[in-house]
Every structure is written in structure tokens, then in C-alpha cells.
Amino acid sequence: MHVVVMGCGRVGSAIARRLEQIGHSVAVIDQDPEAFRRLGPDFAGRQITGLGFDRQTLLDAGIDSAGAFAAVSSGDNSNIISARVARETFGVQHVVARIYDSKRAEVYERMGIPSVATVPWTVNRLLRELLSVKVSELWREPTGKVLLMRVTVTEVWVGRRLADLETATGARASWLIRFGEAQLPTPTTVLQHGDQLVVAATDELTARVHEVVEQGPRGGEH
């Protein structure tokens, strides 16, 4: 997958290097050409000098073929404008913005753009938002406290009870999609290969949902 990263500070450069290490193509945008030194001599991706919300700059970075976009510069306004352009103009599927003002971050989360606050989150959270395909946010209620997440059942959960997944994550299953048809699960529902769940959770539970879905109960113990 091609990923565009706007901002080559400590976080942006770390994300870019990590993405390249795990096999993705990466383009990094920054206004300051000196910032690209943080990428190191082994970085093979594109280095684009310019504004992250400028159409031509984004096109030079390959935004039209990107599957993910991270806006992680030092400015809230630049980050959110860039994120919205990536999402609304170019239709990038996975978009995340780093927002320093936590109150503003809540607003943008409700607009459907995951917003990563500076202090409580890390590069790992940014990467998870950009690359996760097993768990994704579908909808958030107006106060922003409860959200619906789509969960693709992984191999470690095939043959296990849905109730065990609910217990392990703390989330609650709203409905199950099996063979393309939605159905209401029961306490005895056993998960099958290809199942998709829609679960209700809070922000405090999302990290646990990601971990449990990927690793299985108790970090993968059977």
C-alpha cells in the first residue's frame, strides 16, 4: 500500500520509517527540506517539499494512489485541512490527523477523521489507525462517547463463542454478518470463518478490541 505522511518531525519520520520497514511505499511531505534528514540515509520513499493541503503537492506525493494518509505536522489547522482534503477530495480510505487540542480532536473524531492527541498516544496508535483492516470505526454517537466498530473475525477466534469475545474485549456485539446476511447473535453463537461483527464500545475499549481480535484471548493463549 502507498501511504502519504504530512509532517517530517519526530512522529512523522518514525511512522514513515516503520511503514517502509514493513513493506509499504511511503511519501513524506514537509515545508522544510531540512526536516527530511530525520528519515535517515536508508529511506527510499519520496520526499516532497511543500504544503500538505496543496493539491499539486499531494499529487506529487502520490495521493491519488494512496491507501492511507497521516497528517502529523506541528500545526492543528494544517493537519485537519490536509486530512479533510485527503478524505473528501481524493477519497483516501484510512486518514488520521494528529491534533494537539484535545477538545478539537473530539470534534474531528465525530466528523469521521480519527484524531490522535499528542500526549496519550504513540506511533503505534497512528499505525493501527492507518493500517488496521480487522477492526474499523463505523459510527460514533453525537456525544462521542460510544462508537460502533466493524470486526472481521480472525483465525484465532474461529470456533470460539461470541460471548467469549465480548468478555475478553468488554465490547458488546450488536449484530453479526454471515454469508452476506445480517443476524442478531445469541449467547451460544459460535464464530465462523468469514464472519463480521458490529460491536459497540467506548474509546477506552478500542485498544483492547484491536489487541484481542488480533491475538485471541489472553494474548493468543488457547
pLDDT tens-digit profile, the chain (222 residues): 999 999 999 889 999 998 998 889 999 999 999 999 999 999 999 999 999 999 999 999 999 999 999 999 988 889 989 999 998 999 998 888 888 776 676 666 666 666 665 544 446 556 656 655 578 787 888 777 899 988 988 889 999 999 999 999 999 999 998 877 889 999 799 999 878 899 999 988 988 998 899 888 874 444
Give the per-residue pLDDT at 119: 43
Q: Which residues pair with residue 46 across a beta bridge? A: 27
Q: Given this model, what pLDDT does residue 111 score? A: 65
User: What is residue 91's predicted lDDT score, i.e. its pLDDT?
Assistant: 92
Domains and CATH numbers, the chain: 2-131 (3.40.50.720), 146-220 (3.30.70.1450)
Tell me the whole-structure pTM to 2 decimals.
0.56
pLDDT given at position 124: 53
